[in-house]
């Protein structure tokens, strides 16, 4: 499985192991201003890693409503579904960056990690939450 942490400047990516137990960081793609999202690059990575399902983080506002960022994340997910031929699930990502920061601190990182690495860790948090919920029966893939 592949997770996508959507951002206007960077897109963090994470992969699960083949047994769908553990999420791990993959890489961060940088978005160029006024350019389309890197759908082809993500699709290439998905094919290389034999991804069977994609989880896209949905950036909701504080009230849990979808704004422009969430619409863009959904559009990316739809483009990836069409390009990769796999299912796409959307998952609330409101706390993924906070989780990534906590994980960095617990790993002994004293200074703030690079934004690119945090975006990968946010994707890990999105994917690990999805995997855990699926194992518990609360969000089947």
- 2-135 folds as Nucleotidyltransferase; domain 5 (3.30.420)
Query: Which has more confidence, 31 or 140?
Result: 31
What is each CA distance from 115 to 52, 54, 55, 91, 101, in whole angstroms?
28, 22, 21, 21, 10
Highest mean pLDDT: which of 51-60, 93-102, 115-124, 131-140? 51-60
d(CA 91, CA 125): 11
Mean of all residue pLDDT scores within the chain? 87
pLDDT at 14: 97
Compute the average pLDDT of residues 1-27. 94
d(CA 124, CA 130): 10
pLDDT at 61: 83
d(CA 62, CA 123): 19
Three-state helix/strand/coil letters over the chain:
CEEEECCCCEEEEEEECCCCCCEEEEEEEECCCCCCCCHHHHHHHHHHCCCCEEEEEECECCCCCECHHHHHHHHHHHHHHHHHCCEEEEEECCCHHHHHHHHHHHCCCCCCCCHHHHHHHHHHHHHHHHHHHHHCCCCCC
Q: Delimit the domains of the chain by residue range.
A: 2-135
pLDDT at 128: 95
Which residue in this structure is represented by tokens 């990690």?
113
pLDDT at 101: 67
pLDDT at 8: 83
pLDDT at 141: 45
Query: Which has more confidence, 140 or 33?
Result: 33
Token code pair at residue 32: 């160029």
In this model, does residue 140 exceed pLDDT 50? no
At 52-108, the pLDDT tens digits run 999 999 998 888 899 998 999 999 999 999 999 999 999 998 766 666 667 666 766
Compute the average pLDDT of residues 31-48. 91
């Amino acid at each position: 499985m592949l997770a996508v942490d959507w951002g206007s400047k960077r897109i963090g990516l994470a992969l699960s192991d083949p047994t769908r137990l553990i999420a791990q960081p993959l890489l961060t793609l940088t978005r160029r201003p006024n350019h389309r999202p890197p759908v082809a690059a993500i699709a290439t990575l998905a094919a290389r890693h034999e991804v069977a399902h994609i989880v896209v983080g949905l950036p909701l506002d504080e009230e849990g409503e979808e704004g422009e960022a969430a619409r863009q994340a959904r559009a990316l997910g739809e483009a990836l579904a069409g390009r990769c031929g796999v299912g796409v699930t959307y998952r609330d990502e409101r706390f993924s960056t906070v989780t990534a920061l906590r994980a960095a601190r617990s790993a002994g990182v004293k200074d703030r990690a690079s934004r690119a690495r945090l975006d990968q860790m946010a994707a890990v948090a999105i994917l690990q939450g999805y995997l855990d919920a699926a194992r518990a029966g609360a969000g089947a893939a």
